[in-house]
Structure 1
Amino acid sequence: MNKLVHIILLTFVSTAWCADPKVTIKYTFPKTVVRNNYKTVVVEKDRDCLLACIVDNKRAEKKVQWLVQNFRTNTPIPISTDTDTQNAFKYQIDKPAANNWRLKIQNAQESDQALYICRVQLGGQQNANDSRMIQVIQTPQIIDYKTSSNTIKKETDPLDLRCDASGIPKPVISWTMVGGGVLPTGGRELTAPSITIDNVNRNMKGAYKCKAENIAGADIRIIYLNVQFQPQVRAKEDVVRQAVGFSSELTCLAAGNPIPEESQMYWSRDGVALDNRNKFVEEYYVGSNYVLMKLIVKDITESDYGQYRCYAENIEGNENAFVELQQSASEVVQRPGLSGASMLTFSITTIAMLVVTALLHCC
């Protein structure tokens, strides 16, 4: 019986002695994920990375090695044997347990992206190993000196809006209009490092959003394009009729950028400014990108009929339009333009009347 036990023990010890080492990378920081069918550890640039290699059934004379296999050379290069490293500034090996060879990759950079292999040589060309792919990422950051700032252009000028960003992997640059408008290049989104326009026009004014994005995140820059152009002056009505003794309003609309100031606009007749304030009243109402020019002619006489000129200018140029005041046989009632305040008053009054009427019907 003792002989049988002795034989069993010898068999067990021999089997354990002859078993091949088992190599497993069990713990990593950050945690291992699967990317493109590879077990991958994704680490942020300038951060440290840990790979813990557990080796069981290792004979004493066998050494544990860490190797790195670069994507370009595709040749494994030893970086450590047991706990000795060939580059202590980049790699450290410690042993938190007797069977644990833990690799620390310090201050990860883009050049550290590679396949890291934990290996025990079995003999000849055979070895036991496990590996992890290291992917280094960096959140995009738009580069100021390579990116356009807020821009002022004149109509017909060429335009090149550029956007560049750092990041790992290289960020993808896309453009949209703030508010969802259509880009000058067509469509609502453009994937390109720049927007190039041969001839700028006033309709291209607005806020352009550059977005740099990769798997680590995104960065955004808003670039404002301001397009300057000379005033475009249009008469609301080319001909206005009114009878003698009544008053009349002549109206022009001046759109320009910069918006013409009051000192840059006037009404005239036969090349002469209208200085008689008892007869002529000039009013100007500024909108978002235009000015409403109004001329009120009071107590019309025969001599007031004729052609009136509305004029506007800015730093880009000037333009004018003409309104003809003609005589009518009887009074012409002009419909006044409603301001925002008068429209609001009208609406509130109307609603109040409807409510009172409904209550009277109920009672």
Structure 2
Amino acid sequence: MSRDMSRWKIGQGKQTNSIRLEILVVDETYAGHYTCDCQYTGSVEPARAERILRVVSQAKVLPFQSSYTTTLTEGDRMVLRCQAAGIPKPVTYWTRTGGSSSIIRNYGISKPGETIEFTSVLAQDAGEYMCMAENRLGVDYWPVTVAVRHKPISKIYVTVPIAQNPCNVHLYCEVSANPATEATQISWSVGTPATPLLADSRIQLVYMNGGNTRFSVLNFNPILASDLNKKYTCNAYNSLGTVVTEYTLNESAIVTGESFAYLKCR
């Protein structure tokens, strides 16, 4: 028991000729066996009372020993920490609550223990991770957001024309990057050798902002037979690198069950 008398005091009990031990600030060091001996006037043997004190506390994450929101560059080593206190000692584990997947890479749906470690962090590891500390008295939560700086990752896909406007075809270049790519950092070219594509009365270039994911759209209105069977290239870059993605636009991508001539695009 602590010798710090500011944390406990002995005083009059509720009944006459009784005393009381009052612990003002309880922690695990006070757990144990307590004995009270009282020697009354005229009695030969002291009166004795014994009590056992068990100390418990709800699981609680320790903020100053745990990770906060962090930003890394792809390839860096990443360690997320989460320390917790409680009596009984909490069980600590991690889940992934935000990002491209609910799976923690290399670990699965959940990761037991106080740390998550990646020797080389990837763009796909960005997102929110939730630490949970649990004992029989309750659960505490500690979210950590991870941002990963990386060069662009892109893919190209085409939208199927709608029946009301079958000759209007959109070719999308979806670019995920951190820092995000601006409109001037995404460009299109066509053919071999590649010729830069510029907007005109028939082809529009549309840029859409979706946070760290941006879209550059080739809007063919109308699309012509001369646009088909060509290689379209999307070039995107940021301060960390460049990506080049190619896509061959053919008839089967925009027409199902009929020939392109059936669309009667002029």
| TM-score greater than 0.5 by the shorter chain | yes
Structure 2 Cα separation of the partners of residues 303 and 165 of structure 1:
61
Name the SS of the counterpart of 1:263 in structure 2: helix
What is the deviation of 1:163?
Answer: 1.1
Task: State the AA in 1 paired with 2:263.
Answer: V
Alignment of 1:111-130 (within 5 A): 111-119=29-37, 129-130=48-49
Tell me the residue number matched to 1:163.
82
Question: Unmatched 5+ residue regions in structure 1?
Answer: 1-67, 71-78, 80-85, 238-246, 335-363
Task: State the AA in 2 paired with 1:281.
Answer: Q
Task: State the AA in 1 paired with 2:185.
Answer: Q
Task: State the AA in 2 paired with 1:189.
Answer: S
Tell me the residue number matched to 2:12.
94
What is the deviation of 1:148?
Answer: 0.9
Tell me the residue number matched to 1:253.
173
Question: 1:264 aligned to 185, 194, 211, which one?
Answer: 185
Structure 2 Cα separation of the partners of residues 303 and 116 of structure 1:
90
Name the SS of the counterpart of 1:200 in structure 2: coil
Structure 1 Cα separation of the partners of residues 5 and 117 of structure 2:
48
**Pair 324,104 (structure 1): closer, same or farther in 2 beyond 3 Å:** closer
Name the SS of the counterpart of 1:111 in structure 2: helix
Conserved 8 A contact 2:181-2:237: yes
Task: State the AA in 2 paired with 1:256.
Answer: S
What is the deviation of 1:323?
Answer: 4.0
Tell me the residue number matched to 1:145.
64
Conserved 8 A contact 1:252-1:321: no
Conserved 8 A contact 2:11-2:21: yes
Structure 1 Cα separation of the partners of residues 10 and 208 of structure 2:
74
Deviations 1:95-144 (A, max 9, x none): 443343322233333322221113468xxxx9864422223344444333
Structure 1 Cα separation of the partners of residues 131 and 237 of structure 2:
34
Task: State the AA in 1 paired with 2:92.
Answer: I
What is the deviation of 1:221?
Answer: 1.3
Conserved 8 A contact 1:228-1:256: no
Q: How many residues align?
A: 239
Q: Which moved more, 1:295-304 or 1:255-264?
A: 295-304
Q: Does 1:331 pair with 2:261?
A: yes
Deviations 1:196-218 (A, max 9, x none): 12232333222111123345544
Q: Rg larger in 1 or in 2?
A: 1
Conserved 8 A contact 2:67-2:82: yes
Provide the alpha-carbon RMSD of the alignment.
4.0
Question: Unmatched 5+ residue regions in structure 2?
Answer: 40-44, 159-166, 252-258
Name the SS of the counterpart of 1:149 in structure 2: coil
Conserved 8 A contact 1:249-1:294: no
Conserved 8 A contact 1:251-1:292: no
Structure 2 Cα separation of the partners of residues 326 and 105 of structure 1:
81
Task: State the AA in 1 paired with 2:80.
Answer: L
What is the deviation of 1:313?
Answer: 2.0
Structure 1 Cα separation of the partners of residues 67 and 215 of structure 2:
35
Deviations 1:32-73 (A, max 9, x none): xxxxxxxxxxxxxxxxxxxxxxxxxxxxxxxxxxxx7x9xxx
Question: 1:320 aligned to 241, 244, 256, which one?
Answer: 244
TM-score, normalization by structure 2 = 0.68
TM-score, normalization by structure 1 = 0.53
**Pair 279,106 (structure 1): closer, same or farther in 2 beyond 3 Å:** closer
If asked which structure has higher relative contact order (CA below 8 Å, sep 6+), I would say 2
